[in-house]
Amino acid sequence: MFLLVPLFAFSQKESDDVRAGNKMYKNKKFTEAEIEYRKALQKNSKSFEANFNLGNSLFRQEKYKDAFEQYKNSMSLTEDKQRVASGFHNLGNTFMAGGQLQEAIEAYKMALKNNPKDDETRYNLAYAQSLLDKQQQNQQNQSNQDKNNEKDQNKNQDQENPENEPEKKPEEKQPEQQQPQMSKENAQQILDALEQDEKDAQEKAKRAQRRSGRRVEKDW
């Protein structure tokens, strides 16, 4: 989605290894291109072309951290504004690949400062800015949603437990009076005693009736 600046013909002093690497790169053989560029750097570690194009071959292999270091190395080896602009452009691409949109935007701006006519950099800058705007909008929407959810939650809690409403105390339960427990033997003994009392009362009633039925002889 973003344009990578290749560098193939800025200098006629390229070594055979750099040219071989460029050929591999154009054929999308990025690992083989990396090997050739590293050969060139073994012979001349100060080669801008070898450092810069090695960065491109690493970038295409998604080795973004290593590519970033190569771009930085190449930019330290030149004062040519176009080359510096190309370095910042591709640095911006490594930031983009890592999701660092604000850093990418700053890198693209530096590229345009050194080469204002670079439409590819201008395209990448606009693209990065649109992604950042969308990201910030999503974050704002999420923040608003979180705040609304928090308000709804607090509202529900207030409805369930109004602050000014006296807290109801749980009703104190009166201790239940425990009924006396008795064994079957004790219950039978009580029944037997009651039955005996009833018999005794009947017997007393009979004796009293017999006594009331006797006639008392009077002397006249």
Task: Give 70's contacts (C-beta < 8 A, 6+ positions apart).
Answer: 51, 52, 54, 55, 58
Q: Is residue 158 part of a domain?
A: no
Q: Is residue 204 part of a domain?
A: no
Q: Is residue 120 part of a domain?
A: yes
Q: Which position has the higher pLDDT, 185 or 108? A: 108
Average pLDDT estimate for 39-47? 94
Identify the band that residue 118 occupies on the pLDDT scale cut at 50, 70 and 90.
very high
Helix ranges, 115-183 (H): 119-160
Range of the domain at 131: 16-137
Q: Per mean pLDDT, which range of 32-36, 80-84, 104-108, 202-206 is the poorest? A: 202-206
Q: Per mean pLDDT, which range of 10-14, 115-119, 142-146, 150-154 is the poorest? A: 10-14
Q: Which residue has 């427990």 as its token pair? A: 181
Domains identified in the chain, total number: 1
Select, from the ranges 10-24, 116-130, 181-195, the one with the highest average predicted confidence (pLDDT).
116-130
CA Rg value for the chain: 52
Q: Is residue 75 part of a domain?
A: yes
pLDDT at 171 over 90: no
At 158 the pLDDT is: 64
Q: Is residue 48 part of a domain?
A: yes
Q: Which position has the higher pLDDT, 144 or 80? A: 80
pLDDT at 34 over 80: yes
Task: Give 86's contacts (C-beta < 8 A, 6+ positions apart).
Answer: 5, 7, 52, 111, 115
Average pLDDT estimate for 76-93? 94
CB atoms within 10 A of CB 125: 22
Q: Is residue 29 part of a domain?
A: yes
CB atoms within 10 A of CB 115: 18
Give the CATH number of the domain where residue 27 resides: 1.25.40.10
pTM for the whole structure: 0.64
Helix ranges, the chain (H): 16-26, 30-43, 48-60, 64-75, 81-97, 101-114, 119-160, 184-212
Average pLDDT estimate for 12-18? 77
Q: Is residue 36 part of a domain?
A: yes
Q: What is the mean pLDDT of the chain?
A: 78
Q: Which position has the higher pLDDT, 100 or 7? A: 100
Average pLDDT estimate for 194-216? 56
pLDDT per residue as tens digits for the range 58-84: 999 999 999 999 999 999 999 999 999
Q: Is residue 193 part of a domain?
A: no
CB atoms within 10 A of CB 77: 17
Identify the band that residue 142 occupies on the pLDDT scale cut at 50, 70 and 90.
confident
At 181 the pLDDT is: 40
